[in-house]
Amino acid sequence: MTKIAVAKGDGIGPEIMDAVLSVFQAAQVPLEYEFVDMGKWVFDKGFSNGMTSEAQQTIENLGILFKGPMETPKGKGVKSINVTARKTWNTYANKRVFQTLHGVDTVFSKAGIPIDVTIVRENIEDTYGGVEHMITPDVALSRRFITRPGSMQVIKYAFEMASKKGARRITCGHKANIMKLTDGLFLECFYEVAKNYPDLKADDVIVDDLCMKLVTRPDTFDVVVLTNLQGDIVSDLCAGLVGGLGFAPSANVGDHISIFEAVHGTAPDIAGKGIANPTALLLSGFSLLQHVGLYDKANMIENALLYTLESGVHTGDFGDRNKPSLNTTEFANAIIANF
């Protein structure tokens, strides 16, 4: 049986992770879990990267981490635990799938515009290196690095994934008209890799234009690959298209270690109340199940979730305000009842 590392995280993390694992258990998902200590609460105990060395060892041995949201510690020079994890394990591709969920109303679903966009974001480079300086007290400089190997690995991943899923189109988002060398290099890599996929329609769109098109004709896009910060922005835009971060799953993929997580935050205001929406984490769980080859289980759970949402059953954060809302555990049980 495959064993994975699980970190429940901070805030609502433990509640939604418990709910998701209860769904996995009811579905008899053949996975074993090793729970690891990672999150802001571990940082607060003096572990500067937000995890114990046992946790790090376990994750590196098992190769797969399923994690709840983690709070970014405050303070100058302190880095986000999520970003540090991506970097530590070189999870160079961040894949986020955004699909219309029936039962989750948005302006697009109401207008009958179906959404099915996968964003692949480079996950390590760009200004995320955090190489910044004050040149004078009045002038700040941030260094934005884009490398050929870094670009190639995420773009190759995107094409391979797009090709496997039979994508209609793969698009490179960039700002190479202004950042001619950095984004120019990324774009060059994109078309270099494209040569190996003659059957895939590959094109590029300038990132500002891409955002305009995503809010007017999102149905024309399929897979979009971008550099880190632009990918961050475009991912959240796409999350908005399908109803918000509560419905946005995320997989951080590397050659040795992959991390599956919800994109939303720790929601401290509702933590501990047992009312959080576990959907995004559950959707990330599907990615995980697919990643380890458990396609049947992934489908079974996905169908039950979609059916549950479509039938108007929901947690309190969304859905028809006139219909009663369920708490986290009730919602998980409703999904289980629909297997």
Ligand X SMILES: CC(C)[C@H](C(=O)O)[C@@H](O)C(=O)O
Give the binding site for ligand X (CB under 6 A). Answer: 80, 82-83, 177-178, 208, 232, 263
Closer to a second copy by CB, 46 or 137: give it.
137
Residues in the chain: 339
Q: Which residues on adjacent β-strands are paired with residue 253?
A: 93, 258
Is 88 a binding residue for a second copy by CB under 8 A? The answer is no
What DSSP element (H or E) covers 33?
strand 31-35
Is 113 a binding residue for a second copy by CB under 8 A? The answer is yes
| Closest distance to ligand X from the beta carbon of 325 (Å) | 27
**Interface positions, 196-215, toward a second copy (CB under 8 A):** 207-209, 211-215
Angle between helix 13-26 and 279-291 (nearest 10): 50
Quick one: what does residue 198 bind among a second copy, ligand X, none, with the CB cut-off 5 to 8 Å set by partner type?
none
Q: How far is CA 12 from CA 17, 70, 306, in A?
A: 9, 9, 22
Closer to a second copy by CB, 149 or 166: give it.
149
Would you tell me how many other CB atoms lie within 10 Å of the CB of residue 323?
11
Is 32 a binding residue for a second copy by CB under 8 A? The answer is no
| Closest distance to a second copy from the beta carbon of 207 (Å) | 6
What DSSP element (H or E) covers 154?
helix 148-164
Is 336 a binding residue for a second copy by CB under 8 A? The answer is no
| Closest distance to ligand X from the beta carbon of 80 (Å) | 4
Is 289 a binding residue for a second copy by CB under 8 A? The answer is no
Quick one: what does residue 337 bind among a second copy, ligand X, none, with the CB cut-off 5 to 8 Å set by partner type?
none
State which of residues 32, 53, 61, 130 lies at the interface with a second copy (CB under 8 A): 130
Two tokens, residue 196: 């190996």
Two tokens, residue 47: 């572990």
Is 148 a binding residue for a second copy by CB under 8 A? The answer is yes
Q: How far is CA 266 from CA 152, 276, 305, in A?
A: 33, 10, 22
State which of residues 45, 110, 195, 256 lies at the interface with a second copy (CB under 8 A): 110
Would you tell me how many other CB atoms lie within 10 Å of the CB of residue 268?
11
Q: Which residues on adjacent β-strands are paired with residue 136?
A: 139
Is the CB of residue 285 less than 8 Å from the CB of residue 260? yes
β-bridge pairing 249-253 and 93-99: antiparallel
**Interface positions, 212-241, toward a second copy (CB under 8 A):** 212-216, 229-230, 232-237, 239-241
Quick one: what does residue 255 bind among a second copy, ligand X, none, with the CB cut-off 5 to 8 Å set by partner type?
none
Closer to ligand X by CB, 103 or 244: give it.
244
Distance CA 193, CA 191 (A): 5
Closer to ligand X by CB, 202 or 263: give it.
263
Is 180 a binding residue for a second copy by CB under 8 A? The answer is yes
Is 142 a binding residue for a second copy by CB under 8 A? The answer is yes
Quick one: what does residue 146 bind among a second copy, ligand X, none, with the CB cut-off 5 to 8 Å set by partner type?
a second copy
β-bridge pairing 201-206 and 169-174: parallel
Is 158 a binding residue for a second copy by CB under 8 A? The answer is no
* Burial bucket for residue 23 (CB in 10 Å: 0-12, 13-18, 19+): buried
| Closest distance to a second copy from the beta carbon of 322 (Å) | 18
β-bridge pairing 249-253 and 201-206: unpaired
Two tokens, residue 238: 């796409």
Residues that bind a second copy (CB under 8 A): 72, 76, 80, 83, 106-108, 110-111, 113, 127-128, 130, 132-135, 137-149, 175, 177-182, 184-185, 207-209, 211-216, 229-230, 232-237, 239-241, 243-245
